[in-house]
Structure 1
Amino acid sequence: MAQHWFCLYVQRIDATKNMARCYTMSIEPNLFGGASLVRRWGRIGTRGKERVVLFKNERHAIECFLVLARKKRARGYRPRPRSDL
């Protein structure tokens, strides 16, 4: 299995709606020779929820990763602004 590292952290903050959400995805190898898509989401600062989806190969995991990333972008999630500037 090729080692492609995919990791995404996006957040959606709207003070007028008291909304501060984050969403994280990563593709990781699993013990069965396939790939796992690990998704975590919730309110910023809380433990939130987690879901792991197993795939037989990395290509299917990457396709799912890209579809979910597009959906989050369409819902208003954006990368965290750089705070060191």
Structure 2
Amino acid sequence: MASSCHLTHVDPGQNMARFYRMTMQPTLFGEWSLVREFGRIGSPGRVVATNHHTFAQASAALESLRAAKERKGYTAEC
């Protein structure tokens, strides 16, 4: 399982150019943080972090979000 993933969705017909980046990072308290960055390509975007008790939980969350984004038309580079 990947500890990071970068997804993009580009559709010139709809003037759409989006990115979605996910990385897993250990916290100072022994948990794992799933950090998600998303927005329009070329902009800084937004950052959201969620904490998970184990690496397996964070990895499952990353894979679930990746699958959901791919269903919406994003292409993954994991």
TM-score, normalised to structure 1, is 0.85
The answer to which structure has the higher strand fraction is: 2
**Which is bigger in relative contact order (C-alpha 8 A, separation at least 6)?**
2
Larger Rg: 1
TM-score, normalised to structure 2, is 0.92
Name stretches of at least 5 consecutive residues in structure 2 with no aligned partner.
none
Bigger mean CA offset, 9-18 vs 71-80: 71-80
Name stretches of at least 5 consecutive residues in structure 1 with no aligned partner.
81-85
Q: Is the 8 A contact 2:6 2:76 kept in 1?
A: yes
* Number of equivalent positions: 77
Q: Among the aligned pairs, what percent are the same residue?
A: 32
| Two-structure CA RMSD over aligned residues (Å) | 1.4
Q: Deviations over 1:25-81 (max 9, x none)?
A: 01110111010000000000001101000111111111111100100100000136x
Return structure 1 stretches of 4+ with deviation > 6 angstroms: none
